[in-house]
Amino acid sequence: MSLQHVLVIGYVWPEPTSSAAGGHMMQLLHCFVAQGWSVTFASPAKVGEHKADLAALGIAEQTIALNDESFDRFVAALQPDMVLFDRFMMEEQFGWRVELHCPQAMRVLETCDLQSLRDARQGLLKERLRAGEDENDFGALFDVSSDTLYRHMSEADITQREVAAIFRCDLSLMISPFEGQLLVERFGVPPSLLHDCPLMVAPLPTPALDFDQRANFVCIGNFRHAPNWDAVLWLKNQVWPRIRKQLPRAELHLYGAYTPPKATALHNAAQGFLVKGWAADALQVVGQARVALAPLRFGAGIKGKLLDAMLCGTPSVTTPLGAEGMRTGDRWPGHIACSADELAAWAVRLYEDSDQWGAAQAQCHEHLCAEYGFEQHSQTLVRRLYQLSQSLEQHRRANFIGTMLRHHLHKSTKYFSQWIQSKNQSV
């Protein structure tokens, strides 16, 4: 089997300036195009205002519809060699149609992060707050074991759907080593179905600004993403007041795509809490700040905002969940903290201590070179895809659980989708 034509079915149209998920998708597309593969990107989503220019990369675009046989005609005519599903919901919706009309096409899942893990952690946070636990010390929350996470995840509908999609696909791209390990050790997913594929970046062409050339704090993230909004509220109500008390002239510049009125209402110049909205160039605004803040209390995957900080040589202060998938071990370029007091104390220390700050900036470059090189990871991914394409029949034969799940779930999904399609046509 050759790999010449790739179909990507996107949950949304990629917006690399809005989210890490959009950035990772664009990195994958660049990787495919660089191989000389013909790439088609299709999505049922509305086009967002920050959509990437795919045509400039030579990528064909196609709008598709949910629960509609028009997709059958489209994919049957296209006959791609590989189909990449952007998140498990797209595999649920279109996987059975791809298998019906292109049975030999390799099916790959871009997980982005484990949504079921993120939801479980959000539930744990809510339980803790309802129980009246200290709202500013989350050491116990961040130290939850994989056994506890499994108990909270295993019975959830979203977990069963997400893990089933991973079994049904020939390969799933895992952005976080922690999540791959969780799937293998707790959910019994064979390592042969997973591929480690982090964010892939190249160093910036210009040197990072030094300590004296920078000012203020920065926090950036898509406001539609629940973990980001929770972090903004905790930052506004608890963490920033502690920082501001020690640095009364400091400012926090808050950036994010799709800024809602509830976010702009938090703007308070007197408190130095400045809601700036969407940043046309995230690297520019992060690169001008002295310290980046990411006080995340739940979430999953890799945090694009923290990788951007490394790219810009900007030390960051975050939580264990913020750092979880970032592959730095104990050498974080800034500090990892579990409480509002510790977050604030280290933010102030890095802001004022040029030596501490300089050591953290040096670690940014070390981690980028060691863990996130585009050439290294893109070449490894392409090799894995080629190898899989050459042994696809044997690979599928070994994945009996995936075959079984496709047989049963895709039958039910197929008939339900056809019922919706028939219902829509009769209206």
**Which of 190-194, 291-295, 412-416 comes out lowest in average pLDDT?**
412-416
> Is the distance from CB of 199 to CB of 113 less than 8 angstroms?
no
How confident is residue 49, by pLDDT bands cut at 50, 70 and 90?
Answer: confident
Close Cβ partners of 79 (under 8 Å, ≥ 6 residues apart):
5, 102, 105
Is residue 254 exposed (0-12), middle (13-18) or buried (19+ Cβ within 10 Å)? buried
pLDDT at 266 over 90: yes
Residue 287, pLDDT score: 97
> Is the distance from CB of 66 to CB of 43 less than 8 angstroms?
no
The C-alpha atoms of residue 414 and residue 404 are separated, in whole angstroms, by 15
The C-alpha atoms of residue 290 and residue 15 are separated, in whole angstroms, by 26
Read off the pLDDT of each residue in 90-109 and give the average, rounded to a whole number.
96
What is the 3-state composition of the chain as percent helix, strand, coil, each rounded to the nearest 5?
Answer: 55, 15, 35
Alpha carbon dihedral 241, 245, 251, 255, in 10-degree steps, equals -20
> Is the distance from CB of 250 to CB of 289 less than 8 angstroms?
no
Residue type, 237: N
The domains found in the chain, sorted by start residue, are: 5-200+374-426 (3.40.50.2000), 211-371 (3.40.50.2000)
Residue 414, pLDDT score: 64
> Is the distance from CB of 105 to CB of 73 less than 8 angstroms?
no
Q: Which token pair is 106?
A: 């390799």
The C-alpha atoms of residue 194 and residue 170 are separated, in whole angstroms, by 9
pLDDT at 413 over 80: no
Read off the pLDDT of each residue in 69-79 and give the average, rounded to a whole number.
97
Q: Which token pair is 390?
A: 């050459």
Residue 178, pLDDT score: 95
Residue 411, pLDDT score: 64
Residue 426, pLDDT score: 64
How high does pLDDT run on average in the chain?
94
The C-alpha atoms of residue 197 and residue 156 are separated, in whole angstroms, by 26
The C-alpha atoms of residue 196 and residue 191 are separated, in whole angstroms, by 10
Share of residues in the chain with pLDDT > 90 (%)? 85
pLDDT at 110 over 80: yes
162-186 confidence digits (pLDDT tens): 999 999 999 999 999 999 999 999 9
> Is the distance from CB of 109 to CB of 171 less than 8 angstroms?
yes
